[in-house]
């Protein structure tokens, strides 16, 4: 039996960290010289990961989330952004609509999470390749993100502020960003639900939202079927958990510009 075959069984155990002593050192020695076994080790770890992913369990308690985000906020340096899709520039891959979505998301978490500002700043820095897009984006983002910027809603002088919503929809990426202001508050068990009205077929649920104390709300990239062609968007009032079909009346509606 050659060394590879001898190592093969041990490699599986090594991947599970179940190998000790002489056997372990022998495997480590072999690995330092053998690229194909190193690759096989990666695959074995992946196989073992399948075991891990098969656990279903309770969700962690809410306090763990708070604890983590506080610990992260205390960390000294600004970390780089974690890419989960590709190695290319974050902004380049995501495209315009997603970039706008990031801006909106940042806006909605602004008060709660100062580290998001740092992440956004570092993401801006990394995307220097798309300088022109970035310049545009900075111009747009700056007044929205800067806490010192003045926020004004303009309304007709004769009537009280009207609820207003704007939907930005990129069909080929099934990517949707929705911003609303002057939304009247709702009782506790109710939410607003956004609908994509396709050119044919039933209205598609596109996210639920509740306005904040200022009447502002947003929906960012809800799950949507691919390539749904939107004739219009609409809003209804639904029970807290949302609904698969709209409950009349439609409280707001708009068609494409």
Partner 1 sequence: MAQLYDRYSSVVYAVALRVLGDTGAAEDVLQEVFLQLWRKPSAFDAARGSLASWLAVITRNRAIDTLRRRRPETDIEDVIVSVVPDLAAEAERSRASEKVRGVMGSMAPAQRGALEMAYWQGMSHSEIAEKTGEPLGTVKTRIRSGLIALRKAFQT
Binding site residues, partner 1, CB under 8 A: 8-13, 15-20, 23, 39, 42-61, 64-65, 67-69, 71-72, 75, 79-87, 109, 113, 115-116, 119
- Cα(93)–Cα(123) distance, rounded to whole angstroms? 13
Strands annotated E in 96-242: 164-170, 175-181, 190-198, 204-209, 217-220, 230-239
User: Closest distance between partner 1 and the C-beta of residue 48, in Å?
Assistant: 6
- Cα(43)–Cα(49) distance, rounded to whole angstroms? 10
Our CB check for partner 1 shows the closer of 116 and 232 to be: 116
Our CB check for partner 1 shows the closer of 49 and 140 to be: 49
Tell me the two tokens of residue 155. 């309304």
Instruction: Give SS3 for 162.
Output: coil
- Cβ atoms of 221 and 98 within 8 Å: the answer is yes
The sheet carrying 164-170 orders its strands as 164-170, 175-181, 217-220
User: Closest distance between partner 1 and the C-beta of residue 139, in Å?
Assistant: 25
Q: In 3D, which of 95, 66, 92 has the Cα closest to residue 174? A: 95
Our CB check for partner 1 shows the closer of 45 and 190 to be: 45
User: Closest distance between partner 1 and the C-beta of residue 231, in Å?
Assistant: 28
Our CB check for partner 1 shows the closer of 83 and 136 to be: 83
Our CB check for partner 1 shows the closer of 52 and 213 to be: 52
User: Closest distance between partner 1 and the C-beta of residue 52, in Å?
Assistant: 4
User: Closest distance between partner 1 and the C-beta of residue 57, in Å?
Assistant: 3
């Amino acid at each position: 039996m050659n060394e590879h075959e001898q190592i093969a069984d041990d490699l599986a155990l090594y991947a599970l960290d179940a190998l000790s002593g002489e056997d372990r050192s022998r495997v480590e020695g072999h690995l330092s010289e053998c690229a194909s076994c190193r690759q096989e080790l990666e695959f074995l770890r992946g196989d073992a990961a399948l075991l891990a992913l098969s656990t279903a369990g309770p969700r962690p308690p809410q306090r763990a989330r708070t604890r983590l985000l506080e610990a992260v906020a205390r960390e000294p340096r600004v970390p780089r952004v974690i890419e989960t899709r590709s190695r290319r520039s974050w902004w380049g891959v995501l495209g315009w609509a997603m970039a706008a979505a990031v801006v909106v998301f940042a806006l909605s978490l602004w008060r709660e999470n100062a580290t998001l500002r740092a992440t956004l700043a570092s993401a801006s820095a990394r995307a220097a390749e798309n300088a022109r897009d970035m310049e545009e984006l900075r111009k747009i983002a700056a007044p929205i993100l800067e806490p010192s910027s003045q926020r004004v809603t303009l309304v007709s002088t004769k009537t009280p502020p009207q609820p207003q919503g704007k939907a930005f929809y990129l069909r080929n990426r099934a990517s949707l960003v929705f911003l609303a202001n002057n939304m009247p508050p709702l009782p506790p068990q109710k939410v607003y639900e956004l609908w994509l009205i396709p050119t044919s077929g039933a209205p598609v649920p596109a996210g639920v939202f509740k306005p904040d104390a200022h009447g502002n709300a947003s929906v960012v990239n809800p799950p949507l079927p691919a390539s749904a062609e939107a004739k219009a968007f609409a809003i209804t009032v639904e029970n807290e958990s949302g609904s698969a079909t709209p409950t009349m009346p439609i409280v707001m509606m708009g068609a494409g510009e």
